[in-house]
Amino acid sequence: MVNYLVCNKIQVTLSGFLNFIDGLWSSCGDERIIVFTSNHKEKIGTALLSADRMDMHIHLSYCTPCGFKMLASNYLGIEEHPFFSEAEELL
């Protein structure tokens, strides 16, 4: 497994990335959905996939805006949110 990511010639270590994600959780008061995508789940480190960091693993496949809203409703109990329009544009 590769323990770093090279992005524009800057190396990001796995531990640095995990510390960044942990910082997001500790600085946010509301529930957050962070989406990670990968073509090769088997190459992702177990530290990232641990239950301490991820509550759910959801196969999104071809997620539509309607499907995203359904996930937010089912898993977070959110029916409406100002960011839904932004998510719709990104999907």
- Tens of pLDDT, residue by residue over 46-75, are 767 776 666 676 776 778 888 888 888 988
H helices present in 28-83, as ranges: 46-49, 65-71
C-alpha–C-alpha distance, residues 13 and 19, integer Å = 10
- Give the residue, 15 or 80, on which the prediction is more confident: 80
* 49 Cβ contact partners less than 8 Å away, ≥ 6 residues apart: 57
